[in-house]
Structure 1
Amino acid sequence: MINILCFGDSNTFGTNPKGGRHAWNTRWPGRLQVLLGPEYYVIEEGMGGRTTVWDDPLEPGRCGIQALPIALQSHKPLDLVILALGTNDCKVHLNATPKIIAKGMENLCNLVQHFDYGPGYKVPQILVVSPIHIGEDMDHCPFASFDETSPVKSRNLAPLYGQVAKSLGCMYIDAASLAQASSLDQLHMDAKNHGALAEGIMTVVKSFFEP
């Protein structure tokens, strides 16, 4: 089996903009498993509110760079790590610019590439996913941590994430070129967009492992 770890935030977890959580075969990691088939093992590791490197005083325990080593250790051996974070870094009280957010993603990539997996374990490949754009209608966003600056930041992440991926020899995909947030909450994807993202990621994965 080719083992794939999907490490992300609420859109990896599958938060439904209508409330609750999408079904396993609706949210993009589960849909990716269905598309790839039994020769692949897709591991979900999504958490609402997760950032790249920030401790959020309003949502403790969501710092990605603190959680990632635990996930790498508990799910090894891994062939691929998909890093899908950045939306929560756009929260107003974290005061992070797009360049700083991209630096946080760079730190996560470096962690994966230099983690001590132990004898007999290879270093996994990385797929960097720049996040979908945050919706513009902040008056209808129920999450207090986002304001009108957040969508602007989210729209500036893709080229910076692409540069990080290229500089570190990682694969890259721009989720915003495939999917978008629901108008219901400006942050989370509906079933159709989860499917579109899964199909895009599937194409990248298969092109690498099945050239």
Structure 2
Amino acid sequence: MRKRIVCFGDSNTWGLNAETMKRFPENVRWTGLLQEKLSDEYQVIEEGLPGRTSVVDDPLLEGMNGIDYIVPCIKSHAPVELLIIMLGTNDTKERFGLTAHNIAQGITRLAKKAQEAHEEIYDKALQVLVIAPPMIGSHYKKTEIRKSMGDNCDIKSSELPGFLKEFVTNTNIFFLDASKEVVMNEIDYMHLDENGHKQLSELVLKKVRYVLS
């Protein structure tokens, strides 16, 4: 049986193409590229949901709270060799009223809950890699997406990596800061384009090989 790597995220894990509002094909999405580059020993499982948050309910959209789904997700795919979490972009929405510090707290809580759920079934600890997503570009404010996202999303997004790193340091959770090397598109400034997916897949591959070595 192949070892499973679960990628738990939002529209940037699902593969939303902001130009067409449809899904990038599998061979473009960073998860699909990761699968291509890993050996047949591993199976990459996509658990991306557009609009997903880490720990907050969205009053406008149902089923978006990651903390409510992480346990059944982990148990349905168990045993899991590695869980990759890349969330935080949707949590910056003004209507949630969260600070970057709060968002980092929520993502860390989510990671720990996943570990606890896995250990209920298997003695082997679940390896978790938390990725700070690419930053929301400040020009998002000039696009239509600002109407739903609200203000200061770019500021929270830029502050998130530092808080995330602080929370997971000296824990058994691995960390990767994608915000320094991967940029969002120039359409809505908060989704990956084809090149962004390629860049992210290369970063994640290096980290995954380190974590699983």
CA distance in 1, matches of 2:142, 2:19: 17
The C-alpha deviation readout for 1:115-158, integer Å capped at 9, x for no partner, is: 15545452310001011111111111435222330000000000
* Structure 2 equivalent of residue 185 of structure 1: 188
CA distance in 2, matches of 1:152, 1:120: 40
TM-score (structure 2 length as normaliser): 0.94
Of the three residues 162, 165, 171, the one matched with 1:159 is 162
Kindly report structure 1 stretches of 4+ aligned residues shifted beyond 3 Å. Answer: 116-121
3-state DSSP of counterpart to 1:37: coil
The C-alpha deviation readout for 1:65-118, integer Å capped at 9, x for no partner, is: 001111101111101100110000000000000111011011111102211554
* Structure 1 equivalent of residue 205 of structure 2: 202
Instruction: Give the superposed CA RMSD.
Output: 1.4
> Counterparts in 2 of 1:18-167, with a 5 A limit?
18-19=19-20, 20-115=22-117, 117-120=119-122, 122-137=124-139, 138-142=141-145, 144-167=147-170
Shift of residue 22 of structure 1? 0.5
The runs of 5 or more residues in structure 2 that have no matched partner are: none
Do the aligned partners of residues 110 and 5 (structure 1) sit closer, same or farther apart at CA in structure 2, a change above 3 Å counting?
Answer: same
Sequence identity percentage:
35
* Structure 2 equivalent of residue 9 of structure 1: 10
| Aligned pairs, number | 210
CA distance in 1, matches of 2:117, 2:61: 26
3-state DSSP of counterpart to 1:145: helix
3-state DSSP of counterpart to 1:109: helix
* Structure 2 equivalent of residue 171 of structure 1: 174
CA distance in 1, matches of 2:85, 2:115: 12
Decide which moves more: 160-169 or 105-114: 160-169
The runs of 5 or more residues in structure 1 that have no matched partner are: none
CA distance in 1, matches of 2:81, 2:146: 35
TM-score (structure 1 length as normaliser): 0.94
CA distance in 1, matches of 2:167, 2:130: 9
Contact 1:14 1:27 in 2 (8 A): yes
Shift of residue 6 of structure 1? 0.2
Contact 1:16 1:189 in 2 (8 A): yes
Contact 2:184 2:191 in 1 (8 A): yes
